[in-house]
Amino acid sequence: MTTGAATPRPIRQPVLDAVSLTKHFGGVTALDDVSLWALAGEVTALVGENGAGKSTLIKCLSGVYQPDAGEIRVDDKPMSFASPLDARLAGIETVYQELGLVEYFDVAMNIFLGREICRPWWQGSMLDRRAMRRRAREVLAGFGITNVNPSTEVRQLSGGQRQGVSIARAMAWGARTIIMDEPTAALGVRESERVMDVIRRLRDSNLCVLIVSHNIPQILAVADRIWVLRAGRLVAHRLASETNHADIVGHITGMTLPR
């Protein structure tokens, strides 16, 4: 049985390191001395019951919350994220449970939100919609997302297509780490499979992918490494190739069977 503290460091330098993170909300300890890491070229999964602290951990890693104690390291350099922008500048992009797309903007505008491409000033500095659509098409195709038209308004897309747009938006700017909280929670079987394919592509392009999910079979199918949180504490670390459903569920619930 290996937990964060007892887990030997990998030979490769992790891209992302959480070191002894602690976070309280009033009297609730959402994270209690949690240490874990994630490597480039791997899908790392974070699992646990409702309220185990998964979203809190992800929000610390993406600059939404500041931990009360502990440290976040990127490529072994200590970081201090005062805001999500700081995390983004450090190469960490996050796709949230609530996706944050603008329903009445088209796909291309959503991908470029906050970083729009404009025409040069001598042409009036207006938004260059054609350039954004062309670039959006390239970015989507790069992740195998060919069923989304950049000029479609987001409100007309299916759940899986929206997920694809959020991932493309997160990745359009050369991030090295992508964090996804419940990427397939609201999706049907086929759409979930598409998102899983995109996750595999991200991994195959040597990105560091960190996902939170309650779907253990899906995690076992897509992840390389699994960390289990229970009541704010890290209780297990497993390679997906060396575990199974019962083992992971046992750690999630605290009802572990002897191995």
Residues that bind ligand ATP (CB under 6 A): 25, 28, 30, 48, 50-56
The closest alpha carbon to 186, from 156, 148, 159, belongs to 159
Other beta carbons less than 10 A from residue 37's beta carbon: 22
For residue 53, the partner it binds in ligand ATP, Mg ion, none, with Cβ less than 5 to 8 A by kind, is ligand ATP
CB 16 → Mg ion: shortest distance, Å? Answer: 18
Question: How far apart are CB 105 and Mg ion at their closest, in Å?
Answer: 26
Nearer to ligand ATP, 53 or 250 (CB): 53
Q: Which does 50 bind (CB under 5 to 8 A by kind): Mg ion, ligand ATP, none?
A: ligand ATP
Question: Residue 161's binding partner, choosing from Mg ion, ligand ATP, none, with beta-carbon cut-off 5 to 8 A by kind?
Answer: none
Secondary element (H or E) of residue 83:
none
Q: Indicate the residue among 91 and 232 with the shorter CB distance to ligand ATP.
A: 232
Give the residue with the Cβ less far from ligand ATP, 57 or 209.
57
List, edge to edge, every strand of the sheet that includes 42-47.
92-95, 177-181, 208-212, 42-47, 225-230, 233-239
Token pair belonging to 79:
């970081």
What are the strands of the beta sheet with 69-74, ordered from one edge? 28-38, 16-25, 69-74, 77-79
228 within 8 A of 235, measured Cβ to Cβ = yes
CB closer to ligand ATP, 95 vs 140: 95
Pick one of ligand ATP, Mg ion, none as the site partner of residue 30 (Cβ within 5 to 8 A by kind).
ligand ATP
55 counts as binding Mg ion under rule CB under 5 A: yes
Q: Distance (Å, rounded) from C-alpha 89 to C-alpha 82?
A: 11
